[in-house]
Amino acid sequence: MAAKNNPSAHTKTASPSDWLAKAHVLTEALPFMQRYDKKTVVIKYGGHAMGDAKLAEQFANDVVLLKQAGINPVVVHGGGPQIAAMLERLGIKSQFKNGLRVTDAQTIEVVEMVLAGAINKQIVTALNAAGGTAVGLSGKDGNLLVAKKTRSRAKDPTSNVEKAINLGFVGTPQKVNGHILDVMLASNIIPVIAPIATSANGQTLNVNADTAAGAIAAALNAERLLMLTDVDGVKDKKGKLIERLSKAQATRLIKNGTAQGGMIPKLETAIDAVKNGVTAAAILDGRVQHAILLELFTELGAGTLVE
């Protein structure tokens, strides 16, 4: 009779020890489920995990599981590789200044089309197929994400003089309308957000997905901000994974050069999120199967936790 309660046909061959092992896992996860009950978890989704079909399916199943467990997941996604591929297909050449992509008027149209269109709807479809009720939107919807143009600065290699760099239609979040997301979460909806913002005067701006996720997590006073990456987490100078960091320790890693490259903005986002009300932020390897569940429902966790 018990087998009739399980929809998976292969479980008919499971042994009693297999069932006991599953029951043990569930009992160990219970205290963590209680910790996050009715709490909000913002997940930045991108990188290899989004491009791998099997990992993408697992991600959708894991997010729906969070919702079924009484947690409120909010997904914020990137899409850099897909944007680059579409620009190449359309013959639009990207310009870079000091290693940063310049988003001109032609490029921002493609960015919005790819992020708020194709990618956003793919994620929504996957979550709905997994049994969830997902709704896609961009930061422009209901002024969810209002941003200002980002002004970057860098030293001229010839004169060593610091100069301002105009990155075009790239934005830094100024205001988040969390009410829209509160209403969706209360209605059992999983929001899926493309990091396309609007400025105060109506310009469309592209916001870094990590930065957008951090701002949204802070606005919602999220229990956790989870940033899925393509690395294990933050590592020390010997290459060993650092499992926990305080805000001060994370700041020192940036200042002393231990954190480099793309890890710097991720750490900065984690630090800012925790400073602004998020209980803790985790930088996880999205290539690891069920990384979200390991981080939230086990004592070991996964990746690096900044608190």
Residue-wise pLDDT tens digits, 242-275: 999 999 999 999 999 999 888 998 999 999 999 9
DSSP structural state of residue 118 = I
pLDDT range class, residue 12, cuts 50, 70, 90: low
Q: What is the mean pLDDT of residues 140-160?
A: 80
Bigger pLDDT: 294 vs 165: 294
5 is in an annotated binding site: no
Q: What is the token pair recorded at 87?
A: 């620009």
Whole-number pLDDT of residue 47: 77
Q: What percent of the chain has pLDDT over 70?
A: 86
What gap in Å lies between CA 250 and CA 271, rounded to an integer?
7
287 is in an annotated binding site: no
Whole-number pLDDT of residue 101: 74
Mean pLDDT of the chain: 88
Of 281, 61, 31, 58, residue with least CA distance to 190? 61
Q: What is the mean pLDDT of residues 191-206?
A: 96
Whole-number pLDDT of residue 28: 75
Whole-number pLDDT of residue 99: 59
Is 1's pLDDT higher than 50?
no
Bigger pLDDT: 265 vs 133: 133
What gap in Å lies between CA 295 and CA 176, rounded to an integer?
26
Whole-number pLDDT of residue 5: 53
Single-letter code of the amino acid located at 60 = A
pLDDT range class, residue 2, cuts 50, 70, 90: very low
Set out the domains of the chain in order of their start, with CATH numbers. 39-87+114-145+175-306 (3.40.1160.10)
Q: Find out whether 33 and 26 touch, Cβ atoms under 8 Å.
A: no
Whole-number pLDDT of residue 94: 81
Whole-number pLDDT of residue 3: 47
Is 98's pLDDT higher than 70?
no
Q: Find out whether 148 and 139 touch, Cβ atoms under 8 Å.
A: no
Least confident of 49-63, 124-138, 147-161, 229-243: 147-161
Burial class (CB in 10 A: 0-12, 13-18, 19+), 92: middle
Query: pTM for the complete prediction?
Result: 0.88
Whole-number pLDDT of residue 100: 65
Is 162's pLDDT higher than 80?
no
Q: What is the mean pLDDT of residues 195-215?
A: 95
What gap in Å lies between CA 304 and CA 198, rounded to an integer?
32
Burial class (CB in 10 A: 0-12, 13-18, 19+), 186: exposed
Least confident of 73-87, 96-110, 170-184, 234-248: 96-110
Least confident of 20-29, 112-121, 288-297: 20-29
pLDDT range class, residue 34, cuts 50, 70, 90: confident
What gap in Å lies between CA 126 and CA 60, rounded to an integer?
6
pLDDT range class, residue 216, cuts 50, 70, 90: very high
Is 84's pLDDT higher than 70?
yes
Least confident of 91-95, 127-131, 279-283: 91-95
Of 48, 275, 268, 201, residue with least CA distance to 283? 268
- What stretch of H or E contains 251? helix 247-255
Reduced to 3 states (helix: H, G, I; strand: E, B; else coil), residue 294 is helix
Single-letter code of the amino acid located at 202 = G
What gap in Å lies between CA 77 and CA 196, rounded to an integer?
10
Is 54's pLDDT higher than 80?
yes
Whole-number pLDDT of residue 160: 60
